[in-house]
């Protein structure tokens, strides 16, 4: 049992191949669609916005974000360190990548390969609890965001509590209050959490938003 728990926990952090990897990929697509929709909806993406998704997984949120910038000068960037997720997202976003609207990078969110003050919105869904060096990631987000740029994240407290009970996560990894305190300590302002309902899926999750000071 411990072996299975550890395998799931490992694939949740970095989805890979094999039976457990395929199972986690399948679950991400079904279970996390609502969070991806919530993260993109709360990013209020305008056609000329430059947007970045951290830990894009299968790429559902990127697809949604690309749709919002397709008639403008905007662009969508994504970074994820799982080769399996990169392949999955590349497949889903073949046309958007070919047209240059979407650019995907296989890399670690702790080392963002983007210019300073270049991005309007950075969003992530179901992710921050897997970052080993969260402090470094937050400093990187601040660096790449334009002044007054927004950081948006979606999470599901009920699922996270269940994941903790099943041994996939520890409370101190995902505690949203601690994450919000860390955002404030890193000079993000207007740090708020709210419930968000995704009507089309009959699904409710939580969204944290924060702003980079001018
Ligand atoms: C639980 S999955 C969530 C995927 C997707 N956002 C969703 O909601 O379905 C976490 C994702 O973050 C990626 N990830 C975790 N830590 C990362 C890191 N340090 N750098 C880059 N990607 C990371 C994983 O590869 C995986 O695709």
Mean pLDDT within 134-149:
98
State yes or no: pLDDT of 34 exceeds 70. yes
Q: Is 126 in the pocket of ligand 1 (CB under 6 A)?
A: yes
Q: Is 14 in the pocket of ligand 1 (CB under 6 A)?
A: yes
Index of the ligand 1 atom closest to the CA of residue 28: 9
Q: Is 62 in the pocket of ligand 1 (CB under 6 A)?
A: no
Q: How many CA atoms lie within 13 A of 174 on its CB side?
A: 24
State yes or no: pLDDT of 18 exceeds 90. no
Index of the ligand 1 atom closest to the CA of residue 29: 9
* Residue 20, both tokens: 């457990």
Tally of CB atoms within 10 A around 159: 17
pLDDT at 174: 95
pLDDT at 17: 77
Mean pLDDT within 149-153:
98
Pocket test for ligand 1, best of 127, 129, 152, 206 (most atoms within 8 A of CB): 127
Q: Where are the alpha helices (DSSP H) in the chain?
A: 2-13, 18-31, 33-41, 60-69, 83-92, 94-99, 134-144, 157-165, 171-174, 176-185
Give me the sheet containing 119-125, strands edge to edge.
Answer: 102-106, 75-80, 50-54, 119-125, 145-155, 203-212, 188-198
Range of 173's domain? 2-212
Q: What is the DSSP letter of 199?
A: G
SS3 209: strand
Dist. CA 131–CA 108, nearest whole Å: 9
Quick: pLDDT tens for 70-96: 999 999 999 999 999 999 999 999 999
The contacts of residue 29 (CB under 8 Å, 6+ apart) are 58, 60
Listed range (15-24, 40-49, 63-72, 150-159) with the worst mean pLDDT:
15-24
pLDDT at 4: 67
Q: Is 104 in the pocket of ligand 1 (CB under 6 A)?
A: no
The partner residues of 125 in beta bridges, in order of sequence, read: 154
Q: Is 85 in the pocket of ligand 1 (CB under 6 A)?
A: yes
Read off the CATH number of the domain in which 134 is found.
Answer: 3.40.50.150
Quick: pLDDT tens for 101-131: 999 999 999 999 999 999 999 999 999 999 9
| More confident position, 3 or 187 | 187
* Nearest CA-CA partner of 114 in 60, 65, 75: 75
pLDDT at 71: 96
Q: Is 36 in the pocket of ligand 1 (CB under 6 A)?
A: yes
Instruction: Label residue 6 by pLDDT band (50, 70, 90).
Output: confident
Index of the ligand 1 atom closest to the CA of residue 82: 25
Counted domains in the chain: 1
Instruction: Label residue 19 by pLDDT band (50, 70, 90).
Output: confident
Average per-residue pLDDT for the chain: 93
């Amino acid at each position: 049992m411990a072996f299975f728990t550890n395998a799931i926990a490992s694939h949740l952090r970095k989805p890979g191949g094999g039976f457990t990897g395929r199972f986690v990929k399948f679950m991400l697509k079904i279970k996390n669609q609502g969070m991806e929709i919530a993260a993109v909806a709360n990013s209020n993406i305008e056609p000329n916005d430059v947007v970045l998704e951290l830990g894009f997984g299968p790429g559902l949120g990127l697809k949604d974000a690309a749709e919002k910038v397709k008639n403008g000068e905007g662009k969508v960037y994504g970074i994820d360190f799982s080769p399996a997720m990169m392949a999955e997202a590349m497949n889903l976003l073949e046309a958007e990548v070919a047209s240059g609207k979407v650019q995907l990078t296989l890399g670690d969110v702790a080392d963002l390969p983007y210019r300073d003050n270049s991005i309007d919105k950075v969003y992530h869904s179901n992710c921050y609890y897997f970052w080993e060096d969260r402090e470094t990631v937050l400093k990187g987000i601040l660096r790449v965001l334009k002044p007054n740029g927004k950081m948006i994240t979606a999470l599901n407290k009920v699922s996270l509590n269940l994941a903790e009970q099943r041994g996939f996560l520890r409370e101190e990894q995902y505690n949203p209050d601690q994450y919000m305190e860390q955002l404030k300590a890193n000079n993000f302002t207007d740090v708020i959490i709210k419930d968000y309902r995704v009507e089309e899926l009959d699904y409710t999750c939580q969204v944290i938003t924060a702003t980079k000071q001018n």
